[in-house]
Structure 1
Amino acid sequence: MGSTVRRERVVRMSVEQPLWRALMGYRVLTMLYAIGLFASAYEVYERPWVAIAYFAVLAVWTLATLPQVSGARRCTKRFLTADLTVAVVGILLSPVAGHERAVTGGSTLPSIWTAGAVLAWALKGGWRWAASASLFIGVANVIQRGDLSRSTLHNVLLVCIASIAIGYVVEVARASERTLARALEIEAATRERERLARDIHDSVLQVLAMVQRRGNALGGEAAEIGRMAGEQEVALRTLVAGGLSPASRASEDAALGAVVRAVDEPDRAGDPADADSAGPRDLRPLLAGHAGARVTFSEPGAPVLMPPAAARELAAAVSAALDNVRLHAGADAYAWILVEDDPDAVIVTVRDDGPGIPEGRLAQAEGEGRLGVAQSIRGRLRDIGGTAEWISVPGQGTEVELNVPKKK
């Protein structure tokens, strides 16, 4: 396998961040609204200087604390407590300012700005924090009014229900974000596992299978080595397929060196294709090496340019398809490779004259942990946005079509 490890980056999307931005705008607009209400009824206040002093503090506080309500991280408990205190003080100062309507049912000095303070608690801590903040606002309104009138109860319930609902939505959004992030992490880990499984199939499993066959043919001590290699092949197939079957300690020790060498040696040799990662790569040279006495290679006259990573994966899938031809159709089978460079896709067809694949055999092989089709071919094509299709008629050979769309 190549020495370069591809890493999946999980992008965490914040569903609640737009709510924080909306809260920033709400606080500024409601502050201006409260000041406008005061200015329009300035002459009816007995002590307008109390209201002016409060609005001066409210304006400075609202504008200075905008960064604190830009996100959950900066919105601390200390800030929330101070913010709620500003709202409660404004409610209690309303009758002190001498506005009769503040006592008889009109708006308080901060007016609907107080809802912004409660909403900040809801966004930060969820519906329980929202309920607690609403309780303080409700008590302050009752104290300021002097009794629990219908209008007072209506206003308190409205703020309470709205803030609790928003707090609950935020909690659900956060839970959804965590679930999505976990799902993306699992998907990234699964894709990496599939990539490793393909590389293992292309190297280690084939080496172990060859050792088993040659050992059984030679007999003697070689047969024992072949038996241990067979045990290790079964265990490794089960592992990459999702589980682990027990194998003897002796076979593990005997196969460990071969496994490590098969994995590490390509890393030390390096991937010659990596040097050409700066631009598109011609697919034809990557496939031309397969041509031989029993493999016919047909290519276009012009370069078939693809992204380097896609070209390598497609070439590896072709190699895996030819390995299947040699394994299942026999060493005497003929194979044909046809490369087509269409305007919308690169299509590589691998055809043989073997006995064909019985119906249902591919699904059965995948269930048995044999990953030549599931991972080395389909998995590689899926990773680069392509598809792999099999056409096989018993007694008439097999045709594999590898299709990789070109990115616009």
Structure 2
Amino acid sequence: MSTTTYLGRSLLASAERPDALLRGVLVVRWCVLVWLVVVVISGPGAAQPAAAAVAVVLTGGWTAWLALARPTYGTRVLLVDLLVCGALLVVATLAPALATVYPVAAALSWGARRGLRGGAVAGALLGAVYVGAHVVQGLVLDRLDDRLLDVLGTAFSLVLAGAGVGLVSTLLQRSAAALQAAQADRLRAREEAARLAEREELGRQVHDSVLQVLSLVHKRGRELADSPVVDPRAVAALADLAAAQERELRDLVLRPDGLGTGSAPPDEDDQVSLTAALQEAARHQPELDVQVSTVGELVLPGPLVRPLVAAVGQALGNVARHAGTPRAWLFAEVDDGLLVLTVRDDGRGFVLDEDALRAAGRMGLLRSIRGRVEQLGGQVVVDSAPGRGTELELRVPLTGDGEGREHGGHG
């Protein structure tokens, strides 16, 4: 299951449960129920046993069911809530001593689930029931006295409570929707960036290994084709080289480190000795005499070391193929939070012309070396001129746990 699908299902699952507002309303119901019991067992409430029994059974049974069933407050539950609270309003009209604020819970629930309009409509319906019950009990609407003002004030309070909670619920839902949309956009952007990074790194790996060997096979094949006598051992060596690169390409595509079809989570404890890795990269260039020197044995995160060592390997390969010298030097140090890797040779040197390199299809420096370093937030400095060799400096900033550990000794 993809991360996006999992996130979407999690959001849908959370949307099916009562939200925080409805849980808060349930707490209000329990508090009012406790107060109603206190009123019932007191003098005024005990004087009206039938009305007290109806009030306690309605509020207690309904509140207990809501707490145990934990409904999603669909239309049926909300309508039943209106009926229960409307009945309580009628009971309160017949027995004023039992009048409590419990019926407002229905307006609050409608507002929490159905927003501003739903809360206002539910409050208005409850208010109408309350006013109607008082009219049946003899309330006169054409004379604005204290009793009418009190009844109308209670009815208006029901409307205001439902509308207020509905407004809050609407704002919260809009904020949650905006947050979820932003999270989904950020997740899609991260996935797209990861795919592009995979593609770019795969291209660098292919350039570093397969394309280099294919170029060699092409060159040696032309030489053998132009030779009057073809040595079978040379042809067999080329065939073995091509077979080795076929295996390497297959492993590269299928490797389970995020560059192929598999996927492995990063290991937070993945620490690698940069000194040992540079020495290993030097041994992969048998035609060069490479001197490796580091200020201490630098131990750094593997996700940082591996692309840097691959860039160094590409730089050494360029020295072997183009510099015309058998010697090269590698130097690494950490200075004030900055990792500096230097690859130097005393070969023929060159004039850096990026357009010419692109035209010639020579993308080792631009793509395999600079691309890797820039992806780590660093930069590459090239110092070269014809006749005085080349110095390549890779500068990568280190932050937090990535600053590495230094141990005594030199590589």
Q: TM-score range by the shorter chain?
A: 0.5 to 0.7
Give a deviation string over 1:117-157, Cα, whole Å, max 9, x none. 224524xxxx4xx6346424422321232289465245314
Separation (CA, whole Å) in 1 of partners of 2:305 and 2:78: 59
Q: Partners of 2:78 and 2:364 in 1: how far apart?
A: 61
Counterpart position of 2:105: 113
Q: Distance in 2 between matches of 1:222 and 1:201?
A: 30
**Residue matched to 1:138:** 124
* 1:391 partnered with 2:390: no
Cα distance in 2, alignment partners of residues 221 and 119 from structure 1: 85
User: Residue by residue, what CA displacement relative to the aligned partner does 1:207-243 show, whole Å, maximum 9, x if unpaired?
Assistant: 44764687589779999xxxxxxxxxxxxxxxxxxxx
Counterpart-to-counterpart distance in 1, 2:326 and 2:379: 21
Structure 1 residues 220, 107: CA separation in 2 closer, same or farther (over 3 Å shift)?
farther
CA deviations 1:158-215 (Å, max 9, x no partner) are 4124314413431441343144124313312422331232222222576447646875
CA contact (8 A) 1:378 1:388 kept: no
Partner of 1:61: 65
User: Take 1:335 and 1:220, find their aligned partners in 2: how far apart are those partners?
Assistant: 28
Question: Which residue of the partner structure matches residue 338 of structure 1?
Answer: 331
Q: Matches of 2:124 and 2:302 in 1, distance apart?
A: 66
Does structure 1 residue 94 correspond to structure 2 residue 89? yes
1:373 deviates by 4.4
Deviates more, 1:38-47 or 1:181-190: 38-47
User: Whole-Å Cα distance in 2 between the matches of residues 215 and 340 of structure 1?
Assistant: 39
1:94/1:144 contact within 8 Å kept: yes
Deviation by residue 1:81-132 (Cα, 9 ceiling, x = unmatched): 2244124322233223445659xxx96552432244224524xxxx4xx634
The share of aligned pairs that are identical, in percent, is 16
Which of 49, 52, 59 is 2:56 aligned to? 52
1:348-390 per-position Cα deviation (integer Å, ceiling 9, x unaligned): 33345633646xx49x96xx995854676554674xxx43222
Residue 32 (structure 1) shift: 0.7
TM-score normalised to the size of structure 2? 0.62
Q: Find the aligned partners of 1:176 and 1:145 in 2 and give their Cα distance.
A: 42
Q: Which residue of 2 aligns with 1:186?
A: 189
Conserved? CA contact 2:112–2:165, under 8 Å: no
How far apart are residue 340 of structure 1 and its match? 2.2
> Where in structure 2 are the equivalents of 1:216-255 lying within 5 Å?
none
Call closer, same or farther: CA 1:218–1:198 in 2, change over 3 Å. Answer: same
1:12-35 Cα deviation digits (max 9, x unpaired): 496988992453244113431354
Give the match's secondary structure for 2:341. strand
Gaps of 5+ in 2: 136-150, 227-242, 258-263, 403-411
Give 1:29's aligned residue: 28
Contact 1:295 1:336 in 2 (8 A): yes
* Distance in 2 of aligned mates of 1:136 and 1:107: 19
- Do the aligned partners of 1:322 and 1:350 also contact (CA within 8 Å) in 2? yes
The equivalent position to 2:291 in structure 1, one of 293, 296, 299, is 296
Contact conserved, 1:201 with 1:372, CA < 8 A, in 2?
Answer: no
Which amino acid in structure 2 is aligned with residue 93 of structure 1? L
Q: Which moved more, 1:11-20 or 1:49-58?
A: 11-20
| Within-5 A mapping of 1:159-198 | 159-198=162-201
Unaligned runs of at least 5 residues, structure 1: 1-6, 69-74, 224-256
Please tell me the root mean square deviation across aligned C-alpha atoms, in Å: 5.0
Residues 190 and 84 of structure 1: CA distance in aligned 2, closer, same or farther (over 3 Å): same
SS of the aligned residue for 2:127 comes to helix
Instruction: Count residues with an aligned counterpart.
Output: 338
Pick the structure with greater CA Rg.
2
Distance in 2 of aligned mates of 1:369 and 1:171:
53
TM-score of the pair, normalised by structure 1: 0.62
Partner of 1:320: 314
